[in-house]
Amino acid sequence: MASLKELKGRINSVKSTQKITKAKQMVAAAKLRKAQANAEAARPYAARFAAVMASLAGKVTGSSAPLLLAGNGKDQVHLMVVANSDKGLAGAFNANIVKAALVEARSLEAAGKTVLFYLIGRKGRAVIRRAYPKAILASFDTTQVREPGYAEATAIANELLALFEAGKFDVAHLFYSRFRSALVQEPTQQQIIPIPAPKVDAAASASAVVEYEPEEEAILADLLPRYLKTQLFGALLENQASEQGASMTAMDNATRNAGDLIQKLTIQYNRSRQAAITTELIEIIAGAEAL
C-alpha cells in the first residue's frame, strides 16, 4: 500500500498534468476558430473551380487531353500521399489517416499493384515505415513552418508533378482528414493524379453556352496544375481544422480523466491518513492504560 507521502506526490503530479491538458485544450479551442473559418472559406472556391474544370474537361477528349487529366495509360504503380501533422496530443487524428492509407495500400497490393508512399508531416511516419520500409518514395518536411499553407501546397504539387512526369508512379491518392465538427473528423481518400474529370452539372451546361479563347486544351494545361495545388491546399486546411478539433476533444477528455483520478487518489489519501491517525490513537490509549 502506498504511503501518505507517495499518494500526496501522485496527487500533485496529476494536478500538474491537468493544468497542462487544460491549457492545451484552451489553445486548441482558440486555434480551431481560425482553422475552421479557413477550411470553410476554401470550400466554395474549390467547388467553383471544380465546376469550371468540369465544363472544360467535358469538351476535351482523346489524345488532345493533357497528361495530367488523361494519365499515362498505366495503372500499376500507386502513390499514397499521406498528409499528417507534426504534433501529437490530438487523439486518433493521425492514426485514422494512416490506417485509411494502409487499408487502401493492402487492397491495392492484393490486386497485384505496386504501392509507394509520399509522406507529409512528421506524425505517422513510424507506422508506415514499419509496414512498408522500402516503399517510401519521398517525404515533405513541414516542421519549419508554423502552419502549412499555399506555399507548401505549391511545393508539394510541384514535386508530385515532377515525380509523375518522371514515370515514378501512375496514380496518386491523397489521404487527409476532412473537418466536420470539433467531435467528428472524417478520414478522406481522394485521387489527385491523374485528376479525375469533375462531374458536369447538366442543368448549368444546358442553360449556358461558353466559348473559350484560347482553346480548351491550352486552358486546361494551365489550369490543371493550379487545380492540383488548390486540392492540396484545401486538404491542408481541412487537416489543420481537424487536428485542432481532435486536440481540443482529446485534451478535454484528458482533463476530465485527470479530475477523476485526483478525486480517487484524494479519497485513498484521506482513508490512509484516517487509518494512520486511528492507529496512533489506539497506540496512545494502549500505552496510557499500560501505565
**C-alpha–C-alpha distance, residues 45 and 36, integer Å:** 15
Percent of the chain at pLDDT > 90 equals 33
pLDDT per residue over 6-50, tens digit each? 888 889 999 999 999 999 999 999 989 889 899 988 888 888 888
pLDDT digits (tens, 9 = 90+) for 98-147: 999 999 999 999 999 999 999 998 888 888 999 898 889 888 888 777 77
In 3D space, the residue among 237, 77, 96, 259 whose CA is nearest the CA of residue 163 turns out to be 77
Distance of CA 178 to the CA centre of its chain: 8
CA distance 215 to 156: 28
A 10 A CB-CB count for 133 gives: 8
Answer yes or no: is pLDDT of 209 > 70: no
Give the tens place of pLDDT for each residue, 147-158.
Answer: 778 888 999 999
Q: What is the pTM of this model?
A: 0.82
Cell of residue 16, nine digits? 500538474
The pLDDT value recorded for residue 280 is 81
CA dihedral 182, 125, 155, 107 (to 10 degrees): -80
Backbone angles phi, psi at 118, to 5 degrees: -125, 115
| Distant-in-sequence, close-in-space partners of 259: CB < 8 Å, separation ≥ 6 | 18
Nearest alpha carbon to residue 102 among 87, 82, 72: 82
The x, y and z cell numbers of residue 239, run together, are 487537416
| pLDDT tens-digit series, residues 135-193 | 898 888 887 777 778 888 999 999 999 999 888 999 999 999 999 888 888 899 988 88
